[in-house]
Structure 1
Amino acid sequence: MQKHQHYAPWTEAVTRTIRRGHFWIPGERIAQNGLTYQRGPMYVEWEAPEVVSMPYPVVLMHGGGFQGTEWFDTPDGRPGWAQRFVEKGYAVLVIDRPGHGRSPFHVETLGEMGPPFSYEGGQHIYFPQSDERHTQWPFSPDDPDAMDEFIAGYGPLPKDLALSQTLDADRVAVLLDRIGPAILVTHSASGPDGWLIADRRPEQVKAIVAIEPMGPPFAEIPNIGLMAWGITAAPMRFDPPAVSAEAVRDAQPGSLRLPSLTGLPILIVTAEASAFAAASPPTASFLNAAGASAELLHLADRGVYGNGHGLIYEKNSDEALLPVLQWLQNSV
């Protein structure tokens, strides 16, 4: 009889010396049918080295439909970016955006759910097999068990994209009120949240690193929603004030400014083999026309090859992080 092989990853994992904890950013109370409920709380998990040597913590914000676990261990079992930032002396906070992961979702408080996340959708986003340059995906697309585990972390987004981004930005703004100035690192669908958070708390956001942020401006994102205000679905504070999303769309480039983003270090990171990379140059152009100073970092230009949209947890994720760490060292 064949002996069953138990799954015990802790027997081979490296020892990590960190401080760790979690807390909640509560949502607002709402009254329905004579009862009181809480809408859209946000789960926050933090890690820090024994000695924090960097002046500002890093807030890691996950992509659409997923949860904060994408910043922890990679699908092939290596330490992810959260641990690597800790090793560099940063305190790190990883959130589950409202309605995602451990931040509860109920349709009576957050509104209708968007569609479920399909296996085919995951393959289309992360490893379309039409691009031979994509060599860094951490497991074989033909491995059904690995694919099952990868898709398991995904759930629906709120159907109302503007509401979802508003809740994200409001909760992280309260988080920054609690912890003080910080660096935001966003991925994909949380990219617009970075601009909205800086718009709410410009003095508290010291830099934004946006990993292939959702876009381009004014795009209709399949199964997600419309970027009605250009780089966001939710309103931003333009100067002069824009009274509607249509006014932003109709404005000449440079005629509307975003004072809260002026002088803020912004890095937009794109990958060699990602179809989503094409959305980033127009996003940077929109930001810069509004007075920001967004830089584009294409990983292939820094000798980091073979990545797709999931570059933060692909096989060379450590190499993909290096130019980000260097930019932060020089810019913050």
Structure 2
Amino acid sequence: MTISPPAGTAEPARAASSLTISEQGAFWVGVGRKPTEAGTAAEAAMYVQYQIPADLRYPLPVVMVHGGGGQGTDYLSTPDGRPGWATRFLQAGYAVYVVDRPGHGRSPYHPDVLGPLEGAAPTYEFIRWLFCDGAGRPGSQWPGSGQIGDDSALDQLMASQGPALPTFTENEEQMRRCGAELLDRIGPAVLITHSMGGPFGWLVADARPGLVKAIIAVEPIGPPFTELPGFGRLDWGLTAAPITYEPPVRDPQELRTRLRAAGADGVQDCLVQDEPVRSLPNLKGFPIAVVVADTSPFAPSGHGVADYLAQAGADAELLRLPEMGITGNGHLPMGEKNSDEVAEALMAWLGKQPAAVEEDAR
């Protein structure tokens, strides 16, 4: 299968080239069985679509994990209709797996399995604040006006939004279960996560030590121990679900914390562990990039995630897009006007990580 760019599209040289796919398909992982009053239902599973380029240059596949109430379409195309990061990584020579987390997109939500929906449906007002606040101002990378009723990109993004699972913990236990089964099936991989999908990386690496070779956490949920009304608290630091510490932690209240001063204007103080610090042993031994944009609501606290990881022994690096010469981005850099530029920067970082690019082909 050969995919060519739309006629008249002005894009970077890599984007302008055709793409030949040697193999593609889809499957679900984490399929269970749950008794209901009507009979046996399929337990929440995770949909996975994959494509392998004919010009496969890297032995490790990339798994792309969406956030919040989104779905895998966040990586397939931008809200204004350009090819998304999945295509860009394929063109660079990576096999790409794009997931719809349980209860999202093509992994349908059913209250008999996942519990009743709670809270209001996603609103234009909230999505506009989260993803395109500042749209229309000079330098903004949002590909529209940001005005409700006058922004087709915002309409497209809204159409993709669905309910989130009722609690952080339920979300994360489903991520752990399904993500572990995915890596059992495809083997070692690089994970790219976004926003509320960030714990997917931490928990799957914890569940399958050695199979996660790198994590790129784009605007991950945080800072550590944060609480969101209606969803719960990240009681285990970066996760709401239990994660392995050394020395072991039986109850998250055993994690003693202190407030670390940010030391810069416009950046908030965040919690880290108090001494003696416990390590996160299964998040060691591979590179982690925590990617933070400049106009996102997460911008003031993104460093807190990287600091917490590094303090616990992880090889974590904070990548602030403005410090890489990439400015004007909000909370959805894979969907903004300079999405290709951000993808190139992330691939450049990944290319510098030997563990992520030199793994022997399976």
Scaled by the length of structure 1, the TM-score of the pair is 0.92
Q: Which position in structure 2 is the counterpart of 1:89?
A: 93
Q: Which position in structure 1 is the counterpart of 2:128?
A: 123
Structure 2 spans left out of the alignment, 5+ residues: 10-15, 258-272, 357-362
C-alpha distance in structure 2 between counterparts of 1:253 and 1:296, whole Å = 23
Matched, 1:271 2:293: yes
C-alpha distance in structure 2 between counterparts of 1:34 and 1:314, whole Å = 44
Deviates more, 1:129-138 or 1:259-268: 129-138
Q: Does structure 2 conserve the Cα–Cα contact (< 8 Å) formed by 1:159 and 1:225?
A: no
C-alpha distance in structure 1 between counterparts of 2:224 and 2:30, whole Å = 31
C-alpha distance in structure 2 between counterparts of 1:96 and 1:312, whole Å = 16
For residue 17 of structure 1, the aligned residue among 14, 17, 20 is 20
For residues 284 and 183 of structure 1, do their structure 2 counterparts lie closer, same or farther at Cα, with a shift above 3 Å needed? same
Deviates more, 1:41-50 or 1:108-117: 108-117
Q: Does structure 1 conserve the Cα–Cα contact (< 8 Å) formed by 2:131 and 2:330?
A: yes
Q: Deviations over 1:171-201 (max 9, x none)?
A: 0110000000000000001011110110001
The residue type equivalent to 2:196 in the other structure is: A
Q: Does structure 2 conserve the Cα–Cα contact (< 8 Å) formed by 1:271 and 1:277?
A: yes
CA apart distance, 1:132: 4.9
For residue 155 of structure 1, the aligned residue among 159, 162, 171 is 162
Structure 1 spans left out of the alignment, 5+ residues: 1-8
Deviates more, 1:304-313 or 1:20-29: 20-29
Matched, 1:107 2:111: yes
Identity of aligned residues (%): 44
Q: Does structure 1 conserve the Cα–Cα contact (< 8 Å) formed by 2:144 and 2:152?
A: no
Q: Which position in structure 2 is the counterpart of 1:219?
A: 226
Q: Does structure 1 conserve the Cα–Cα contact (< 8 Å) formed by 2:63 and 2:192?
A: yes
Q: Which position in structure 2 is the counterpart of 1:260?
A: 282
The residue type equivalent to 1:304 in the other structure is: I
Q: Which position in structure 2 is the counterpart of 1:201?
A: 208
Q: Does structure 2 conserve the Cα–Cα contact (< 8 Å) formed by 1:112 and 1:158?
A: no
Matched, 1:317 2:339: yes
Q: Which position in structure 2 is the counterpart of 1:136?
A: 141
**Aligned ranges 1:234-249 → 2 under 5 Å:** 234-249=241-256
C-alpha distance in structure 2 between counterparts of 1:253 and 1:112, whole Å = 41
For residues 34 and 75 of structure 1, do their structure 2 counterparts lie closer, same or farther at Cα, with a shift above 3 Å needed? closer
CA apart distance, 1:272: 1.6
Matched, 1:285 2:290: no
For residues 130 and 11 of structure 1, do their structure 2 counterparts lie closer, same or farther at Cα, with a shift above 3 Å needed? closer
For residues 131 and 146 of structure 1, do their structure 2 counterparts lie closer, same or farther at Cα, with a shift above 3 Å needed? closer
Q: Which position in structure 2 is the counterpart of 1:303?
A: 325
Q: Which position in structure 1 is the counterpart of 2:265?
A: none
Q: Deviations over 1:143-168 (max 9, x none)?
A: 24443222011011111210111111
C-alpha distance in structure 1 between counterparts of 2:179 and 2:56, whole Å = 21
CA apart distance, 1:32: 3.0
Give the number of aligned pairs.
324
SS state at 1:294 partner? strand
C-alpha distance in structure 2 between counterparts of 1:213 and 1:221, whole Å = 14
CA apart distance, 1:215: 0.4
For residue 70 of structure 1, the aligned residue among 48, 71, 74 is 74
C-alpha distance in structure 1 between counterparts of 2:179 and 2:238, whole Å = 18
Deviates more, 1:56-65 or 1:45-54: 45-54
The residue type equivalent to 1:57 in the other structure is: P
CA apart distance, 1:280: 1.7
Say what the alpha-carbon RMSD is for the aligned residues.
2.0
The residue type equivalent to 1:234 in the other structure is: A
The residue type equivalent to 1:193 in the other structure is: F
C-alpha distance in structure 2 between counterparts of 1:278 and 1:131, whole Å = 22
Q: Does structure 2 conserve the Cα–Cα contact (< 8 Å) formed by 1:284 and 1:295?
A: yes
Q: Deviations over 1:123-156 (max 9, x none)?
A: 1101223995751001122324443222011011
